[in-house]
Structure 1
Amino acid sequence: MIAARSHRQPQRWLVGTLVAALAFILAPAGTAQAAEAPPVPVPPSLSAKGKGGVALADRDFVIKVRLAGLWEIPAGNMAVKKSKDPRIQEIGRSISAQHVALDQLDIAVAKKLGIALPNLPNGDQQGWLNEMNNAPTPEQFDQIYVDRLRAAHGKIFPAIATIRASTRNDEVRKLAQEANQFVMTHMSLLESSGIVDYGSLPTAPAPAGAGGPAVDTAMVAAASSSGGLPGVNTSVILIVLAAALVAGVVTTMRIFRPR
């Protein structure tokens, strides 16, 4: 009796492992990619004393941070009023409030460095605000609001990285680090709406002088949109993997079976 029980223990353990493995393999892909809360902007640990030269690119960056607030604050306030979707309203409220905080940081840096800031959005930004204000339905407003802001944040994101990596001025460096965290947060918030039209976003430029084989962009686009390579059935792959796992466990159980 004791010998029989001792032989059953490995079998029970293997069966439990098999069940857990199969559940993991066959679980929906979305479960493994549960939505995470967007990062919250936090003050960086950088210190700034106004040291270092200020390049023309630095001045342009400080001005662009100000311009971003001049249209995204009223756009967020408009989202609270015009949208009927509670999620869009919350996104607008959060982005507007965070741009108020970022605008204060930007104004302080501009004052220290003697940079004159605009008080009105530029022509493109005013056009986006007019487009939102004239949206005929709340649903159309939501789409315009999310797409315009997501596209704008995508454009400023690499510009911030360039300034953060290259500026000689510690005030600008600190502002770039702060702005980077805000922009990442805003992109995550906008994407959480579930209605971003990624197909309308500009594509990244091809690497210069890569020297490698040409990439079939159509295949890459099809793979990213379908969640895998074109012509390959993901379900079939999972079934084959599960069958192979079952066969391996059965073989191992036969080895442990008492003779």
Structure 2
Amino acid sequence: MGGALATTLGSLLYPAMLGVQKVNSAPERLIATPATGPLTEADRDFVVKVRSAGLWEYAVGHMALRKGTTKAVKIAGEHLIDGDASLDAACRKAAAQLGITLPNQSSPQQQSFVSQLNAENGKQFDTDMATIERAANGQILATIASVRTTTKNSLVRALANQANNTVLDHITVMEKTGLVDFDQVLAQETTPPKLPAQDLTPPPPVPGQPQVVLTPSANSTVSPSPSVG
């Protein structure tokens, strides 16, 4: 994939709507035919979802290191930081090759999670962090499976593989805290709130704004992943 495609399609490929809930009216609609395989709206939206999820979880990971009251919560924070930094690097590389414009901020819904947790301390923070993260990762796991089994694009397929591993790790470390409220998780996963599309959509980046880069910790918990593309 050359830079010309990215320049030509970049502004065209930013999704109008996306989120944990399925909001696309034509997810199978073909929007580009790069050398790595046909690219659909669902493929494009998935790449943006990965980026958006990483942006808010990365912030929560740093909160967990600062405010977590148990070793397990701090370990979970380390996994969020390192897993999302590694996945974000793969996401940014795939997006550049596919001409997909990525956000620099998460969706309003995801930002509300960050604001809620930022206002909490002590055991309340620990419990809500573990529960919110477990529910969010459980929801996106189904999206990953759907995209992985339907995409015809090799870059999107490789990103889905890495996202699957990262999300399963995050689910595991949240459960290891012993603080997940599984009743709340089940309720959120089976009956998500009916939010307007704009609350589920990360805002497009400001023109000329440098791309936000998520950096791993000095002693990363993540092994180097195979290069995407």
TM exceeds 0.5?
A: yes
Aligned to 1:210: none
For 2:71 and 2:177, locate their aligned partners in 1 and report how far apart those are by CA, in whole Å: 10
Q: Does residue 1:72 correspond to 2:57, yes or no?
A: yes
Aligned to 2:77: 92
Could you give the per-residue CA deviations for residues 76-119 of structure 1, whole angstroms, max 9, x where no partner exists? 00000011211101110122111101000000000000000000
Aligned to 2:124: 140
Does the 8 A contact of 2:75 with 2:173 survive in 1? no
Aligned to 2:108: 123
Does the 8 A contact of 2:37 with 2:154 survive in 1? yes
Aligned to 1:107: 92
For 1:195 and 1:83, locate their aligned partners in 2 and report how far apart those are by CA, in whole Å: 12
Aligned to 2:213: none
Q: Does residue 1:60 correspond to 2:45, yes or no?
A: yes
Name the SS for the 2:106 alignment partner: coil
For 1:158 and 1:166, locate their aligned partners in 2 and report how far apart those are by CA, in whole Å: 13
The aligned runs of 1:152-191 (5 Å cut-off) are 152-191=136-175
Does the 8 A contact of 1:50 with 1:171 survive in 2? no
Q: CA deviation at 1:202?
A: 3.2
TM-score, scaled relative to structure 1: 0.58
Q: CA deviation at 1:121?
A: 1.3
For 1:120 and 1:78, locate their aligned partners in 2 and report how far apart those are by CA, in whole Å: 17
For 1:134 and 1:81, locate their aligned partners in 2 and report how far apart those are by CA, in whole Å: 13
Provide runs of 4+ in structure 1 moved above 4 Å: none
Q: Which has the larger radius of gyration?
A: 1
Name the SS for the 1:201 alignment partner: helix
For 2:49 and 2:145, locate their aligned partners in 1 and report how far apart those are by CA, in whole Å: 14
TM-score, scaled relative to structure 2: 0.66
Task: Show structure 1 runs of 5+ residues with no match.
Answer: 1-48, 206-259
Q: CA deviation at 1:129?
A: 0.6
Does the 8 A contact of 1:50 with 1:113 survive in 2? no
Q: CA deviation at 1:147?
A: 0.9
Supply the AA of the counterpart residue of 1:146.
A
Could you give the per-residue CA deviations for residues 33-60 of structure 1, whole angstroms, max 9, x where no partner exists? xxxxxxxxxxxxxxxx942100000000
Q: Does residue 1:197 correspond to 2:181, yes or no?
A: yes
Supply the AA of the counterpart residue of 2:129.
Y
Supply the AA of the counterpart residue of 2:160.
A
Q: CA deviation at 1:185?
A: 0.9
Task: Show structure 2 runs of 5+ residues with no match.
Answer: 1-33, 191-229
Does the 8 A contact of 1:84 with 1:138 survive in 2? yes
Q: CA deviation at 1:201?
A: 1.9
For 2:165 and 2:65, locate their aligned partners in 1 and report how far apart those are by CA, in whole Å: 23
Q: CA RMSD in A?
A: 1.4
Does the 8 A contact of 1:50 with 1:170 survive in 2? no
Supply the AA of the counterpart residue of 2:183.
G
For 1:82 and 1:51, locate their aligned partners in 2 and report how far apart those are by CA, in whole Å: 43
Name the SS for the 2:186 alignment partner: coil
